[in-house]
């Protein structure tokens, strides 16, 4: 596995995996991804990290099926535990150990796992990241500041109704501000090449074409 691919997978797992203590005190690692996106990352995971099995399911009230992978190899569990993959409120030490040259690949993986690049119905361009309430965004803030990209962090708590029961839904959002910053961010991600889900940064081309057609 290349260093770039390794850094991409670390960012992807940091964003979208569950890592915690399971039955018998053993740690396990799992994640889910839309089945349509699965083929873009499965090759890297299978060839380089020893996964061999996955399952597919469709959740209730969901239009998209999800593919799920679980692994319990002790060697990799120790690595994940030592790098706080189960305590994200304590920051992301693994990112700061990556060379500046390869940090964009980590961020690309994180974007594919928990980020969004979109155009809404009014053609408003949005680049954002979602995470757990109270988690540390130290690595993402470091990356955005390094590239002089303005951003805001929103911590939100709202009450939702599920099966007649009120529950608190808490989450955190990092949003890149100003179109020039969003364009620059997507250009940085495009420089990572064909690793991962290109559909997210490809939204940039639609946005630029839309601006051009309007003479902006």
Give the bridge partners for 36, in sequence order: none
pLDDT at residue 105 in the model: 95
State the pLDDT at residue 134: 81
Q: Are 114 and 174 contacting, i.e. CB atoms less than 8 angstroms apart?
A: no
From CA 111, how far away is CA 113, in angstroms rounded?
A: 5
3-state secondary structure of 14: helix
- Alpha carbon 139 to chain centroid, angstroms: 13
Mapped onto helix, strand or coil, the DSSP state of residue 30 is strand
Say how many CA atoms lie within 13 Å of 163 toward its Cβ.
Answer: 2
Per-residue pLDDT of the chain (216 residues; tens, 9 = 90+): 688 988 988 898 888 777 767 666 666 667 666 666 666 665 666 555 555 555 555 555 556 555 566 665 566 667 777 777 777 888 898 999 999 999 999 999 999 888 999 998 888 999 999 988 888 999 999 999 999 999 999 988 777 776 777 777 688 999 999 999 999 999 999 999 988 888 889 999 999 998 888 876
Beta carbons of 92 and 136 less than 8 angstroms apart:
yes
Q: Which string of DSSP letters, residue by residue, matches 52-92?
A: ---EEEE-TT-SSEEEEEEE--HHHHHHHHHTTTT-GGG--
- Give the pLDDT of residue 37: 65
Nearest-angstrom CA–CA distance, 122 and 210: 11
- What sign does the dihedral 157-180-191-38 (CA atoms) show? positive
The pLDDT score that the predictor gives to residue 174 is: 96
Determine phi and psi for 131, rounding to 5 degrees.
-160, 180
**In the numeric block, which tokens belong to residue 121?**
């119905």
What was the pLDDT predicted at 153? 95
């Amino acid at each position: 596995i290349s260093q770039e691919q390794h850094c991409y997978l670390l960012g992807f797992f940091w964003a979208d995996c569950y890592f915690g203590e399971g039955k018998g005190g053993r740690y396990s690692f799992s994640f889910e991804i839309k089945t349509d996106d699965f083929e873009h990352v499965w090759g890297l995971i299978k060839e380089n990290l020893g996964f061999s099995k996955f399952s597919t399911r469709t959740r209730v009230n969901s239009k998209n099926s999800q593919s799920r992978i679980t692994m319990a190899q002790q060697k990799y569990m120790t690595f994940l535990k030592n790098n706080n993959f189960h305590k994200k409120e304590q920051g992301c030490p693994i990112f700061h150990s990556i060379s500046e040259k390869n940090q964009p690949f980590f961020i690309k993986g994180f974007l594919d796992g928990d980020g969004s690049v979109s155009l809404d119905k009014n053609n408003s361009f949005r680049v954002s990241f979602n995470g757990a309430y109270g988690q540390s965004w130290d690595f993402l803030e470091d990356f955005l500041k390094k590239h002089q990209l303005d951003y805001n962090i929103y911590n939100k708590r709202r009450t939702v109704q599920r099966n007649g029961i009120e529950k608190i839904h808490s989450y955190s959002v990092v949003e890149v501000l100003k179109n020039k910053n969003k364009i620059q961010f997507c250009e940085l991600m495009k420089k990572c090449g064909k690793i991962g889900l290109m559909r997210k940064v490809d939204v940039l081309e639609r946005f630029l074409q839309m601006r051009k057609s309007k003479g902006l």
